[in-house]
Amino acid sequence: MNYQNITYELKDGGIAVVTINRPKVLNALNGPTLQELGQVFCDIASDPEARVVILTGAGEKAFVAGADISQMVEFNSLAGDTFANMGQEVLNSIENCPKVVIAAVNGYALGGGTEISMACDFIIASDKASFGQPEINLGIIPGFGGTQRLPRLVGKGMAKQLVCTGDIIKADEALRIGLVNKVVPSDELMDEVMGVAKKIASKGQVAVRVAKECVNRGVNMDLRHALAFERESFAILCSTEDQKEGMKAFLEKRKPEFKDR
């Protein structure tokens, strides 16, 4: 498919790189961009060649600087509901993608940019990155999941502070509060993220998919039900070809050759 607002490349080793490509407007999210993101993640989910996904932004300034305010300024309640619903559905498709999705945040990740990064499985950021939910300054609140994913990552108090002040924080503070996993120099970002992606891609993808699902579903369950789901998932994996190969390779002191079965 030909995209106008994003680029997609499947690299060696099954690393899928999705780049939001609107650098002139700091990769702001508008309706067509969200539609293309939804489509590419639908395609990636069903593509057996894609093993791990990297999501980033074009240019040196921004990952995603937010939603496109020029599109939103004339919204009424109906238009706002439609836009928020679209954004939430697309971010849910990222969060629920069966492949691990890594956000490589190379600059501003504000508003919808922070929200889309939080929908990824984890975030690796450039030392030039910054994060925030400044929607309060526009008389609105985050609408793509920010009020819900942020407290799950950094706790209720910190989330309320960021959402209600609209403060923008630098990468080192985002690391301190647990929003991002790692901060690296800007010129090392993609090499770092690619290294992590290749490591995950080298594992048996059946187990990787199940591990992601267990974490995603478990955090929204009480502990008893979450443990039961983990136990059931563990038991199912014990009947896979990858489990037999992985354990046999361990005992034979060699590298496993997973077949994703």
Residue 119 · residue 149 · CB < 8 Å: yes
Q: What are phi and psi of 48, to 5 degrees?
A: -65, -15
Rounded to an integer, what distance in angstroms lies between the CA atom of residue 74 and that of residue 230?
47
Q: How confident is the model at residue 70 (pLDDT cuts 50, 70, 90)?
A: confident
Write down the pLDDT at residue 258.
94
**Tokens 């990297």 belong to which residue?**
54
pLDDT (mean) for 95-103: 97
Mean pLDDT value across the chain: 96
pLDDT (mean) for 61-73: 90
Q: How confident is the model at residue 37 (pLDDT cuts 50, 70, 90)?
A: very high
Rounded to an integer, what distance in angstroms lies between the CA atom of residue 154 and that of residue 119?
14
**pTM confidence score:** 0.95
Write down the pLDDT at residue 2.
85
Residue 37 · residue 119 · CB < 8 Å: no
pLDDT (mean) for 231-260: 96
Tokens of 21: 């490509």
Write down the pLDDT at residue 68.
83
Write down the pLDDT at residue 207.
97
pLDDT (mean) for 236-245: 96
Angle between helices 112-119 and 146-154 (to 10 degrees): 60
Q: How confident is the model at residue 67 (pLDDT cuts 50, 70, 90)?
A: confident
**Domains of the chain: residue spans and CATH:** 6-201 (3.90.226.10), 205-251 (1.10.12.10)
Residue 219 · residue 152 · CB < 8 Å: yes
* Bridge partners, 38 (sequence order): none
Q: 2-6, 23-27, 70-74 — which is least confidently predicted?
A: 70-74
Residue 124 · residue 104 · CB < 8 Å: yes
Which candidate, 204, 193, 210, 211, places its Cα nearest to that of 258?
Answer: 204
pLDDT (mean) for 54-83: 93
The catalytic residue positions are 115, 135
Write down the pLDDT at residue 181.
98
**1 pLDDT higher than 80:** no
Query: Tell me: the pLDDT tens digits for 187-237?
Result: 999 999 999 999 999 999 999 999 999 999 999 999 999 999 999 999 999
How many helices (H) and strands (E) would you count in the chain? 11, 10
Which candidate, 4, 8, 29, 26, places its Cα nearest to that of 17?
Answer: 8
